[in-house]
Amino acid sequence: MSGAHSGALVAHQFDDAEQQHASASLGMWIFLATEVLFFGGLFCGYTLYRGLYPAGFEAGSHLLKVQYGAAYTVMLICSSLTMALGVRSAQLGKRKALVTFLVLTILLGAAFVFIKLRFEWYGDYLEHIVPAIHWAPQGKALAEITRLGASLNHVELFMFFYFVMTGVHALHMIIGVGVMTWLLILAWRGRFSPDRYNQVEMAGLYWHFVDIVWIFLFPLLYLIGGRY
Amino acid sequence: MGTAALEVPSISHVNYLNASYGWRSWLFTVDHKRIAWLYLVAITFFFFVGGAAATLMRLNLIEPQGALVEPATYNKLFTVHGLIMVFFFLAPAVPAVLGNFLIPLMIGARDVAFPRLNLLSWYIFMLAGSVFLYSVISGGVDTGWTFYTPLSTTYANGNVMSAATGIFISGFSSILTGLNFIVTIHKMRAPGLTWFRLPLFIWSMYAASVIFVLAMPVIAITLALLVLERFFHVGIFDPALGGDPILFQHLFWFFGHPEVYILILPSMGVISELVAAFSRKRVFGYSFVAFSSVAIAVISFLVWGHHMFVSGQSIYAGLVFSALSFAVAIPSAVKVFNWTATLHQGSVSFDAPMLYALGFIGLFTMGGLTGLFLASLATDIHVHDTYFIVAHFHYIMVGGAVMGYMGGLHYWWPKMTGRLYPEGWARLSAAIIFVGFNLTFGPQFILGYLGMPRRYAVYPAEFQVLNVMSSAGASILAVGYLIPLIYLLWSARYGPLAGPNPWGAKGLEWTTPSPPPTENFEEVPIVTEEAYAYAKET
Amino acid sequence: MYFGFPFRPQQASTVSVAWDHLFYFLTAVAIFFSVLIFVAIFYLAIKYRRRSADELPPPTRENLPLEITWTIVPLALTVVMFVWASSLFIRDSRPPAASTEIFVVGKQWMWKIQHPEGPREINELHVPVNQPIELTMTSEDVIHDFGVPAFRIKKDVIPGQYTTEWFEATKTGRFHLFCDQYCGMGHSSMIGWIIVMPPDAYERWLDSQMKVEPMSAAGSRLFSQLGCGTCHGPGQVAKAPSLAGLAGATVKLQNGQTVVADDAYLRGAILTPRQVAGFPAVMPTFQGQVSEDEVLQLIAYIKSLESPQGSKGKFQ
Amino acid sequence: MVGHVLSKKLYVTVFALLIALTALTTGVAYIDLGAYNTVAALAIAVVKASLVVLFFMHLKYTPGMTRIALAAAVGWLVILLALTLADFHTRSWTPVPQSWQASTAPAR
Ligand code: HEA
Ligand code: HEA
Ligand code: CUA
Ligand SMILES: [Cu+2]
């Protein structure tokens, strides 16, 4: 706590580090609240149509591959752990550990985005199940849709939700990776100390939030109607 | 010696205006007071653009077959008018100009909690405005400010995508401003300034900020979905896929109704300040007025379906929304009665800001009471989407919110510039605005009741008389708005010096010099008394 | 006194009088409170005007009873408004049993209207006086709104769905029909007339139009043209459900839900077929192959089919 | 300074729980529970999210305002969903016009 009043650590508008930290934390949480409602619009539409077109959504969900969804979930949980430990290292002033954990977090996040785009989405493209861009389900996909008696239109609607929801999520991941990289540079230069790690903590909150969104997206998109 | 220019007294103390010079010192400033000026310039520009569109509309409606423009152009005019006035003028007007300037001053802080974020908000706002203006210049949009699907996604030919993108971006500016204010009000209050010692302006800014933060993200994602659907020709509102266009309306109005309270709440806060200062009395029923702001903010999120009574929404949902819409009227009623009661046994002066305040109370009451016609399921069916609606919301937004903004601008102008505006001109233009306003929008109530639909470029001849009256009123109104533009500009340079507290008002902002120094206060004020402690005893 | 404009829209339907009464009540409340506030402001502001520059008034005293009064009184008034308005609304939201059904299709920027007997009209609707009329409406493109001020009715017309509204005209004459939902460039010219006629004149009008086939006949023609009969024809009951007597019946769906086969259901069954319990999902979608007008004709035809038990569809 | 330093062990425990719950939610999807599949999936997701919020995001150790911010977010999400769905779910309550009932044939 000592030294908190020494100039640069506390911006001019604040009285002390305590106030600065509390403000930053409150601001970040409010920002996350807006994020909840940002995704909320999507969840609202999703819930509505899932209720209206259960067969279409079930069939659509069965076109996705559970193994991807589960793998992403594990990756994100791991990255959340590394992030939490990173914040902890910052709190304790362990620069090396902080750098290591940030690197791990970035790698996990980047891997997530890479796998999603390169393998899952590209795979969807090859299977002709990308609405608007490449939409002509055939073979196994078509068989599944017919088996469940779903209307192709409703399946397309589901796939649209799938791409938009995971797309917006991936966008958040990309932004997150960007922020982490910036933090990494700062951490490398030794900008953080037990007196001064607000940015790491706030970025951590954001990262965990993105993880939470995925925790919901996984069952909502990949596990509809079971896989039995 | 002896020339006119030298008679202008100059401001000698170091303040936020003369602390540094040059365009960089303005465009890269993080001082909340300078950022308020940046906003002021921007929204004034937008106001006159929106007003010019309104002028052209009113000119066109002088003749039933359209006196001026093609229907296609008319449709673009009201779309641009509505979007600019709502998103680029009124939503930022009181919050981003007066709020930015005053919140730190009123709570005894050196700045807002996140000054750089504050500047960022302005840049985002300007980016949004530029994108929107681009869409207007390069052909315009013609969807109405409500962007209803599938018109906007499939059938409209205008630049829907760039316009929606502009609004989308502006949402983030509002979110960041709201966030900044909430944190500032929570964390930056001067010692001794407890919640119930806060000026009521702060309470209503707080309530409005909460709405910013919770409503804006929903419109952002909704517009994003709209743009995607228009781009890919596939989307969640598309009836061909089994999508439901009414879902769009739900998402739009979930934001849209709270948005209209974003427009009015800050002005209500201004009115509380004005009524107290110009009656030299504490606002009657302080805590009721304070809590009614919070009540409005919360209930405003529960009433959106009242815009959809004839849209095919279920009648049961309609009943719920109708009941809740009546509920949201109560806190507004409480405010109106308390302001009126404040005059009782006061020392009422009729300076221009007070004229605006009294105008606000009267016109807001009329606008609000006609809102009750719309909240009633049966009567709304008849007047929905007619000029009755247009009259309702202009009474609240122009007669109410804009009057409040004008009143506040005059009241704090001496604080912002250090100089007094010419009182006589100000009273005159307030009176002109009041008369012109009623002549413009009063006849529209009757038009609407008679059945004239809104957004009509041409109309049956039997509605002409009332339309001509309305257009005549609009020209008076235009004069009323141009006069202040001129004399305020003049007074910023040549007005007499104001001194720290020209009105003899209470409040921390009046304890520091006009214009205030960059750090606002020489030393952190310590608050020991209630707000509006005018009377001798307290 | 004549001001060059009327002060009240014509009252030409059964609901208009009762609805106007509510409107007058609301107006009275609005005027009362507006006058109250204006008078109070003027009176207080002038009575307590500032008399000297350094005048300081006595402190504000809180007054809880007063606060409660002006919370409760508006609350009570709004409860009255709510109950009154909602009861009118609920009462008038259901068409009377004996109403005649007429079909409306909105399209940028005109109204296409079909009578079950066959005649079609554009931007005009002829109806008999004192006869409840139920409009079943849909749109081919964007949302429109079928509003008739003299009848105090208004309802959005939505693509992909059916909405309904009804009225019973009490006066003969010509009444404005407006499109009240902004629908693009020609919105303000999407207007027309409702022509209310005495019953005998209406019959004569119908006769003069009678060269056209009734909607159900047109539907029947479409039914064979599109090959519906190959599956739904007589004797095909194993392949596809029989459509006779379907209209108005309760249908059990594959997913266990039951629905009433109303217009909207039939439209969905044709355009986006869903699983009826016990049948394979082989019915192709007819979306894009039939226009909204034609769907309505098919529905009229299905309604005209007799059920095996002898009870009939709505139109006989 | 102001932050709350939690033990490494706690983080790892929470992490292990999260992984276990992920396995559980995936596994449950392969068992036929009817409508309860969705309920189970959502319940597990809520538990997981709560773990992240409480421990990784330190909600358990932060002042009341943070909780209010979170509660507002969730509450408003509920408002959005509840009132929107209230419309769509009650549309079918409207009685089918009487003229229909007159001709109702027995359910098939
Ligand atoms: C600042 C903006 C603002 C504000 C504050 C309000 C306030 C209110 N509005 Fe308004 N409204 C709009 C802006 C606003 N509105 C806009 C822009 C539209 C059109 C959007 C579009 O379609 O383009 C609209 C449309 C609109 C509709 C939809 C109409 C339709 O499209 O069919 C409805 C319906 O219920 C409504 C109701 C109300 C009510 C009940 C209030 C209440 O909050 C009013 C409360 C105030 C009072 C009641 C007055 C003071 C009270 C007294 C003096 C005491 C006496 C009181 C009683 C007896 C109760 N408004
Ligand atoms: C805050 C919001 C706000 C404000 C301040 C105003 C201000 C005004 N509005 Fe607006 N209005 C809306 C919000 C607002 N409006 C909205 C949301 C809609 C709905 C849009 C939609 O349907 O989608 C609407 C719609 C609307 C209509 C209905 C259009 C229709 O449905 O067909 C009309 C018609 O009279 C109108 C008129 C006016 C007038 C005369 C003013 C006046 O108060 C304006 C006064 C200002 C001036 C007159 C400026 C003076 C300056 C000049 C004259 C300079 C001129 C310069 C040049 C010509 C170069 N408005
Ligand atoms: Cu059709 Cu407006
Ligand atoms: Cu509203």
pLDDT digit string, tens, across residues B448-497:
999 999 999 999 998 999 999 999 999 999 999 999 999 999 998 889 98
Closest ligand to C-alpha of residue B455 is 2
- DSSP 3-state percent helix, strand, coil across chain B (nearest 5): 70, 0, 30
Residue with tokens 């779903």: A150
Confidence of residue D102 (pLDDT cuts 50, 70, 90): very low
Between C148 and B523, the more confident residue is: C148
Contact B236 A40 (CB under 8 A): no
Atom 1 (ligand 3) nearest CA:
C144
Q: Which tokens belong to C304?
A: 């005209």
Per-residue exposure over D36-57, b if at least 16 CB sit within 10 Å of its own CB, e if not: ebbebbeebbeebbebbbebbb
Helix (H, G, I), strand (E, B) or coil at D5: coil
Q: Which of B256, B442, B340 is nearest to C30 (CA)?
A: B442
Contact A151 C274 (CB under 8 A): yes
What phi, psi does B401 have (nearest 5°)?
-55, -45
pLDDT on residue C29? 95
Q: Which tokens belong to C100?
A: 């005649």
Q: What angle do CA D88, B386, C15 make, to 5 degrees?
A: 70
Would you say the CB of residue B264 lies under 6 angstroms from ligand 1? yes
* Residues at CB less than 6 angstroms from ligand 2: B 48, 51-52, 54-55, 57-58, 78-79, 81-82, 85-86, 89-90, 144-145, 390, 394, 397-398, 402, 440, 454-456, 470, 474, 477-478, 481-482
What phi, psi does A163 have (nearest 5°)?
-70, -40
Q: Residue C180 CA: which ligand 3 atom is closest?
A: 2
Contact D52 A215 (CB under 8 A): yes
Distance CA C219, CA C129 (A): 28
Mean pLDDT in chain A? 89
Q: What angle do CA B422, B425, B429 make, to 5 degrees?
A: 135
Distance CA D108, CA D101 (A): 15
Q: Shortest CB distance from B326 goes to which of C34, C78, C147?
A: C78
Residue with tokens 């069916």: B381
Contact D70 A73 (CB under 8 A): no
Q: How far is CA A76 from CA A73, B339, B358, in A?
A: 5, 55, 58
Lowest mean pLDDT among B229-243, B252-266, C232-246, D42-56: C232-246
pLDDT on residue C308? 53
- What is the share, in percent, of chain A residues with pLDDT greater than 70? 95
| Residue D3 pLDDT exceeds 70 | no
- C139, C105 Cβ separation under 8 angstroms: yes
Q: What is the mean pLDDT of residues A55-80?
A: 92
pLDDT on residue B102? 96
Which C residues, 115 through 134, put their C-beta within 8 Å of a C-beta on chain B?
A: none
pLDDT on residue B441? 96
Distance CA B180, CA B114 (A): 6
Choose from B61, B147, B310, B465 for mutation: most chain C CBs within 10 A: B310
Cα(B317) to centroid(ligand 4), Å: 15
Cα(B92) to centroid(ligand 1), Å: 20
Q: How far is CA C249 from CA B240, B306, C268, D107, in A?
A: 27, 34, 15, 6
| Residue B104 pLDDT exceeds 80 | yes
| Residue D2 pLDDT exceeds 70 | no
Amino acid at B489: L
pTM listed for this prediction: 0.92
Between chain B and chain C, how many beta carbons pairs sit less than 8 Å apart? 276
Neighbouring residues of A201: CB distance < 8 A, sequence distance ≥ 6: A24, A25, A87, A90, D3
Atom 39 (ligand 2) nearest CA:
B54
Q: Shortest CB distance from B370 goes to which of C30, C62, C86?
A: C30
Helix (H, G, I), strand (E, B) or coil at B371: helix
Distance CA B177, CA B43 (A): 15
Q: Residue B90 CA: which ligand 1 atom is closest?
A: 1
Distance CA B247, CA B514 (A): 51
Would you say the CB of residue C190 lies under 6 angstroms from ligand 3? yes
Q: Which tokens belong to A105?
A: 């977090």
Widest Cα–Cα separation across chain C: 100
Minimal-distance CA residue of chain C relative to A145: C281
Question: Can you give the length of chain C in residues?
Answer: 316
Helix (H, G, I), strand (E, B) or coil at B121: helix
Q: Which tokens belong to C161?
A: 């769905």
- B9, B497 Cβ separation under 8 angstroms: yes
- B299, B328 Cβ separation under 8 angstroms: yes
Going by DSSP bridges, is the β-strand pair C153-157/C192-197 parallel, antiparallel, or unpaired? unpaired
pLDDT on residue C92? 86
B301 to chain D, minimum CA–CA distance in Å? 8
pLDDT on residue D108? 34
Q: What is the mean pLDDT of residues A1-22?
A: 66
Distance CA B34, CA B129 (A): 19
Cα(C190) to centroid(ligand 3), Å: 6
Q: Which of A47, B149, A54, B377 is nearest to D88 (CA)?
A: A47
pLDDT in tens, B350-387: 999 999 999 999 999 999 999 999 999 999 999 999 99
| Residue D23 pLDDT exceeds 60 | yes
Q: Report chain C (316 residues): mean pLDDT per 10 consecutive residues.
A: 69 91 95 95 92 83 90 95 94 84 91 87 93 92 94 92 92 94 93 94 85 81 84 73 79 74 83 73 79 86 68 35
- Taken in order C273, C278, C280, C282, the sign of the CA dihedral is negative
B515 prior amide bond cis, ω within 30:
yes
| Residue B217 pLDDT exceeds 50 | yes
Query: Which ranges constitute the DSSP H helices of B188-244?
Result: 200-232
C75-82's contacts with Cβ under 8 Å and 24+ in sequence apart are: C75/B330, C77/C29, C78/B326, C78/B327, C78/B329, C78/B330, C78/B372, C79/B326, C81/B326, C81/B372, C81/B375, C81/B376, C81/C22, C81/C25, C81/C26, C81/C29, C82/B322, C82/B323, C82/B326, C82/B376
CA dihedral A5, A11, A13, A17 (to 10 degrees): -40
- B146, B252 Cβ separation under 8 angstroms: yes
Helix (H) or strand (E) holding B36: helix B32-60
Helix (H) or strand (E) holding D22: helix D8-28
Q: What is the mean pLDDT of residues A68-86?
A: 94
Is B320 touching D (CB cutoff 8 A)?
A: yes
What phi, psi does C154 have (nearest 5°)?
-170, 135
pLDDT on residue C246? 81
Q: Which of C200, D19, D83 is nearest to B250 (CA)?
A: D83
Between D101 and B330, the more confident residue is: B330
Lowest mean pLDDT among A123-127, B292-296, C153-157, D53-57: A123-127
For residue C135, the cross-strand partners are: C102, C165
Taking each helix axis from N to C end, the angle separating B403-417 and B32-60, rounded to the nearest 10 degrees, works out to 140
Neighbouring residues of B359: CB distance < 8 A, sequence distance ≥ 6: B399, B403, B430, B433, B434
pLDDT in tens, A93-146: 889 999 999 999 999 999 999 999 899 899 888 888 888 888 888 888 888 888
Q: Shortest CB distance from B179 goes to which of A22, A30, A56?
A: A30
For residue C290, the cross-strand partners are: C287
Closest ligand to C-alpha of residue B44 is 2
Q: How far is CA B188 from CA A23, A164, B32, D61, in A?
A: 9, 39, 14, 22
Burial class of residue A132, CB neighbours in 10 A (0-12, 13-18, 19+): middle
Going by DSSP bridges, is the β-strand pair A129-130/A134-135 parallel, antiparallel, or unpaired? antiparallel
| Residue B103 pLDDT exceeds 70 | yes
Residue with tokens 């107006």: C27
DSSP state of C276: B
Cα(B400) to centroid(ligand 1), Å: 12
Residues of chain D with C-beta less than 8 angstroms from the C-beta of C245: 105
Atom 60 (ligand 2) nearest CA:
B54
Q: Residue B453 CA: which ligand 3 atom is closest?
A: 2
pLDDT in tens, A145-203: 888 878 888 899 999 999 999 999 999 999 999 999 999 999 999 889 888 888 999 99
Would you say the CB of residue C109 lies under 6 angstroms from ligand 3? yes
Contact B317 D93 (CB under 8 A): no
Amino acid at B152: S
Q: How far is CA A147 from CA A144, B325, C271, C280, in A?
A: 5, 47, 20, 10
Cα(B43) to centroid(ligand 1), Å: 24
Closest ligand to C-alpha of residue B144 is 2
Distance CA A100, CA A89 (A): 10
Distance CA B96, CA B409 (A): 12
- A155, A58 Cβ separation under 8 angstroms: no
Burial class of residue C252, CB neighbours in 10 A (0-12, 13-18, 19+): middle
